[in-house]
Structure 1
Amino acid sequence: MKSRAIFQTCIRNVKYLYKEGEMKTMQQGWLSNWLVKHEVVHRSLGFDHRGIETLQIKAGDWDSIAVILYVYGYNYLRSQCAYDVAPGGSLASVYHLTRIQYGIDNPEEVCIKVFAQKDNPRIPSVFWIWRSADFQERESYDMVGISYDNHPRLKRILMPESWIGWPLRKDYITPNFYEIQDAH
């Protein structure tokens, strides 16, 4: 019920933006400007070398912002990855979203970074919005250890289920013993 209310609120906000013409008038940083106007806590990380806006979003706001982006037309999750920011620090889940429209040669893109603390790394899954997040979130879970809430099949995808630890964390200690198994 809560997710339905969030979705309806997001739909209302996007319709308001279309009516006011904000989406079409803002050249750069429209998403950051919109989030400021609606008092959503975030941090603008600027633009990359291709001019793609990058934002840092709180994990608690990610599911509603993801719905807003999808409704606005960001219908393609280009990639999702995760990395360890620093030993003892936080983990980041990065989403590259693209707004694909017929006849557009240079589609709009946005990069969203969602950070989680290492002691309890939990981020809402966007599998229900972009199905392509399935294996990508599973790989991030397997390698970095971020748990994606409400993901339907969150389990290891590259490492054996019996593997202990998260191999791409900066504080990961490589085991000295590797068991060699026959590939079948």
Structure 2
Amino acid sequence: MQGNLSAWLVKHALIHRSLGFDYQGIETLQIKLGDWHSIVVIYMYMVTIISAPNVPMIIEYEVCIKVFSPRKDPRIPSVFWVWKSVDFQERESYDMLGISYDNHPRLKRILMPESWIGWPLRKDYIAPNFYEIQDAH
């Protein structure tokens, strides 16, 4: 079964892989890393058209887009310039997982200190044997 975005991408010959629907019925697609930014812009366009002010009812449209990047140097183009609200989500995944977002205006740690070594939520992360407590009194 194909969802709305998948059908639109097929119609326009954009390569993707449908991963089906999750338990809530949300369409899940896998796209190539190089197509990430284009798909986001297309999705934004589709949502804008669907939720135009002259439409008499509110239409909710959700989709889960998955992009895979290499573990050694995970880099994804930032979508900050499409959605400003993604700022903290990109910074958090950088801070916790080490995913770098190309062209993000201020990609830096927001949860861990700047001096922290490693990416705490990665499966290969080795927790230090000690924690330095500063100003704990």
Q: Which ranges in structure 2 are unaligned for 5 or more consecutive residues? A: none
1:111 aligns with 2:64: yes
Aligned to 1:3: none
In structure 2, relative to structure 1, the CA distance for the partners of 1:54 and 1:163 (3 Å cut) is: same
How far apart, CA to CA, are the structure 2 residues paired with 1:52 and 1:107?
A: 11
Q: By how many angstroms is 1:100 displaced?
A: 5.2
Aligned to 1:82: none
Q: By how many angstroms is 1:39 displaced?
A: 2.8
> 1:21-170 to 2 correspondence within 5 Å?
28-73=2-47, 103-104=57-58, 107-170=60-123
* SS of equivalent to 2:69: strand
Q: How many correspondences in the alignment?
A: 134
Runs (4+) off by over 6 Å:
none
1:181 aligns with 2:134: yes
How far apart, CA to CA, are the structure 1 residues paired with 2:98 and 2:80?
A: 17
Deviation by residue 1:96-118 (Cα, 9 ceiling, x = unmatched): xxx756641x5111111111111
Identity fraction in percent:
73
In structure 2, relative to structure 1, the CA distance for the partners of 1:32 and 1:161 (3 Å cut) is: same
Structure-1-length-normalised TM-score: 0.66
In structure 2, relative to structure 1, the CA distance for the partners of 1:53 and 1:151 (3 Å cut) is: same
In structure 2, relative to structure 1, the CA distance for the partners of 1:74 and 1:168 (3 Å cut) is: farther
Instruction: Give 1:128's aligned amino acid.
Output: W
Q: Which has the higher strand share?
A: 1
Q: By how many angstroms is 1:59 displaced?
A: 1.3
Cα pair 1:139 1:158 within 8 Å, conserved = yes
Cα pair 2:2 2:20 within 8 Å, conserved = no
Cα pair 1:138 1:156 within 8 Å, conserved = yes
CA RMSD of aligned residues (A): 2.2
